[in-house]
């Protein structure tokens, strides 16, 4: 399964990803986490990304896409994975789709975490990360609306989108995510039973 978690900053993508990768025993790719690793090791990529992250901007697509391509080449991603915070724009989604097509794979499910702005601001100010100042948070929310929100329509048109209420406790939200994922597993095993493969080995 290839699952994408989309949501505004502070919606809990990182928090819920940790639960979901344990539950599904799948690989995890968080572009935000990868950038933070590059920033702390002061790599060239980290220095470039830092300028954008500290202003609340998205890191340019060509930087993100080449980092994702390199990461996905690792064998642990061969059986599926959870994308957390990637793609974050329609061009990134198109780049991912081309990459997966080359591997004869496709996105299985896109989960949107829906949380109102007032709750997001409260959570992010409490987190106290370097890019979590009030001014940066407001700008990140604007950037989300302009560049990431159009992705929801993109995946909705492709029949991949499921929206989950991201408010309530971490356990409550994870329970809703689990319900969607379990339903998907049931649907796909039923369709395999009604359309068995004609190939025999
Ligand atoms: P990310 O690392 O993806 O982080 P985020 O959007 O800020 O937060 P997330 O949604 O993961 O929230 P979290 O679980 O931590 O991105 C950081 C930056 O990197 C971006 O702004 C961008 O500049 C850059 N970047 C990343 N990917 C990119 C891409 N593809 N293209 C371009 N640029 C990219 O939760 C937030 C807080 O809420 C935590 O303190 C958590 O404990 C709390 N929380 C979570 N769930 C809660 C709940 N249910 N109740 C109460 N609190 C909760």
What does the alpha-carbon distance between residue 8 and residue 25 come to, in Å, rounded to a whole number? 25
Q: Supply 136's token pair.
A: 């940066």
Per-residue pLDDT of the chain (201 residues; tens, 9 = 90+): 999 999 999 999 999 999 999 999 999 999 999 999 999 999 999 999 999 999 999 999 989 988 999 899 899 998 899 999 999 999 999 999 999 999 899 999 999 999 999 999 999 999 988 889 999 999 999 999 999 999 999 999 999 999 999 999 999 999 999 999 999 988 887 877 777 654 443
pLDDT tens track for 130-152: 889 999 999 999 999 999 999 99
Question: Which residue carries 């929310």 as its tokens?
Answer: 141
Ligand 1: residue of 6, 10, 124 to mutate (most ligand atoms within 8 A of CB) is 10
Neighbours of 55 (CB within 10 A): 13
- Residues framing ligand 1 (Cβ under 6 A): 7, 9-15, 31-32, 35, 52-53, 58-59, 64, 85-86, 88, 92, 123, 127, 140, 169-170, 173
pTM of the model: 0.92
User: How many angstroms is it from 200 CA to the middle of ligand 1?
Assistant: 45
Contact 184, 109 (CB under 8 A): yes
Backbone angles phi, psi at 17, to 5 degrees: -60, -40
């Amino acid at each position: 399964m290839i699952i994408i978690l989309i949501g505004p900053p502070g919606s809990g993508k990182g928090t819920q990803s940790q639960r979901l990768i344990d539950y599904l025993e799948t690989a995890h790719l968080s572009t935000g986490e990868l950038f933070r690793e590059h920033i702390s090791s002061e790599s060239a990529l980290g220095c470039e990304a830092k300028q954008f992250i500290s202003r609340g901007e998205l890191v340019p697509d060509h930087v993100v896409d080449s980092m994702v391509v390199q990461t996905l080449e690792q064998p642990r991603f061969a059986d599926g994975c959870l994308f957390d915070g990637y793609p974050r724009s329609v061009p990134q989604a198109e780049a991912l789709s081309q990459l997966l097509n080359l591997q004869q794979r496709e996105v299985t499910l896109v989960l949107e975490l829906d949380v109102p702005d007032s709750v997001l601001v409260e959570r992010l100010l409490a987190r106290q990360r370097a890019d979590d100042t009030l001014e940066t948070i407001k700008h990140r929310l604007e950037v989300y609306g302009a560049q990431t929100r159009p992705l929801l329509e993109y995946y909705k048109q492709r029949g991949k989108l499921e929206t989950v209420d991201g408010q309530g406790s971490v356990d409550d939200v994870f329970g809703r995510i689990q319900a969607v994922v379990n339903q998907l597993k049931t649907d796909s095993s039923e369709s395999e039973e009604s359309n068995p493969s004609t190939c025999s080995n």
